[in-house]
Amino acid sequence: MDAASVLVTGGSGFLGGALIKHLASVRKLSLTAPVRNLSVILPPEVQLLSVVSLGGDTDWRNALVNIEVVVHAAARVHVLNDSTTEPLAEYRSVNVDGTLNLARQAAAAGVKRFIFISSIKVNGEFTSSGGAFTADDSLAPSDPYGISKFEAEQGLLEIAAATSMEIVIIRPPLIYGPGVGANFLSMMRWVYKGIPLPLGAVHNARSLVSLENLIDFIVVCIDHPNASNQTFLVSDDQDVSTTELLHKIGCSLGRPACLVPVPSWLLCSASTLVGKRSLAQRLLGSLQVDIKKNNRLLGWKPPVRMDDALESTAQYFLEYQRK
């Protein structure tokens, strides 16, 4: 891997930016990062290329010269309560057409391996009590984002079958770490401000993956021979309930979470009445993943404990995000 030339998309994003910094600073790889904004702050040794858009007609030829591995982390991300009139078409334009266009050009340019950061939403939204998704389950995406990622996966497998380029698909659940945004950041702010939350009696089980563990897994997939043409789920391998997670966040922030024990059925009913059903489902439902395949094929286990990852997330929050 020391000699590999790697192209990483999504360099201005949460995962892509952190991955590039790790590969450049720790792994010392030769890196190319196509970005929309050339002012994005990345290590000086990274070659930045201006890319206006990620679509079906983007020309990647210059970016792919001498590239051996592509890690495709750029995407139109999942948005709660998306107000777009045709959300599936919008997701497909970037996540399907853009992904497959890049992959086809990568195969034509002689790229050896294409690593696609997909989503656990390809498997489905929830797991039953005591159950867990596996990488080889039947798939049940239900929203436009999950459907677009599923369709991109299917197209990539067709490209792998027709060319010599290897495909690796990685489906993470919720990713957290220093600089995290969206719902996880909201939870941290709620706990930090001492806002009473009616989530003190939630007995679900959810898998999460820290930024550090996901990056470590991607690094393994860059050149491990057994990763070729495989699909993997990834997590911290430590499932928690929403109640437990909030307590852990409070401990990391030095601000005990103020949780009120309200029955989940009552929360579900109330959330439906106020139009927040999708958010409530994510807070109250279970979503577990089984990562035994990762250890069996790649010898991989998460190197970072959840408590340690939450600690680093909290420290970043206290320094930069608490307002």
pLDDT tens digits, residue range 70-121? 999 999 986 655 566 788 999 999 999 999 999 999 999 999 999 999 999 9
pLDDT of 2 over the 50 cut: no
pLDDT of 226 over the 70 cut: yes
Instruction: Find the mean pLDDT for residues 271-300.
Output: 88
Residue 231 and residue 294: Cα distance in Å, rounded? 10
As a whole number, the mean pLDDT across the chain is 91
**CATH number given to 5-171:** 3.40.50.720
- Between 278 and 148, the more confident residue is 148
pLDDT of 64 over the 80 cut: yes
Which residues are known to be catalytic?
A: 145
pLDDT of 34 over the 50 cut: yes
- Cβ atoms of 237 and 203 closer than 8 Å: no
What integer pLDDT is reported at residue 159 of this predicted model?
97
* φ and ψ at residue 147, rounded to 5 degrees: -65, -40
Instruction: Find the mean pLDDT for residues 174-190.
Output: 95
Joined tokens for residue 183: 């719902």
Q: H-helix or E-strand containing 188?
A: helix 182-192
Instruction: Find the mean pLDDT for residues 124-149.
Output: 92
To which residue do tokens 């999460």 refer?
A: 208
The angle, 0 to 180 degrees and rounded to 10, between the axes of the packed helices 211-223 and 306-316 is 120
Please tell me the least confidently modeled range out of 6-15, 147-156, 213-222: 6-15
Smallest Cα–Cα separation from 68: which of 192, 164, 175? 164
Residue 303 and residue 309: Cα distance in Å, rounded? 10
| Confidence band for 166, pLDDT divided at 50, 70 and 90 | very high
| Confidence band for 234, pLDDT divided at 50, 70 and 90 | very high
pLDDT of 276 over the 90 cut: no
What integer pLDDT is reported at residue 1 of this predicted model?
45
**Which residues does residue 116 pair with via DSSP β-bridges, in sequence order?**
72, 169
DSSP string for 110-141: T-SEEEEE--GGGT-S---TT--B-TTS----
Residue 310 and residue 99: Cα distance in Å, rounded? 32
Q: How much is the pTM?
A: 0.93
Joined tokens for residue 76: 């139109």
Q: CB neighbours (10 Å) of residue 299? A: 10
- Cβ atoms of 111 and 66 closer than 8 Å: no
Residue 184 and residue 176: Cα distance in Å, rounded? 7
pLDDT of 56 over the 50 cut: yes
What integer pLDDT is reported at residue 45 of this predicted model?
83
- Cβ atoms of 89 and 25 closer than 8 Å: no
What integer pLDDT is reported at residue 303 of this predicted model?
98
Q: What is the residue extent of each domain of the chain?
A: 5-171
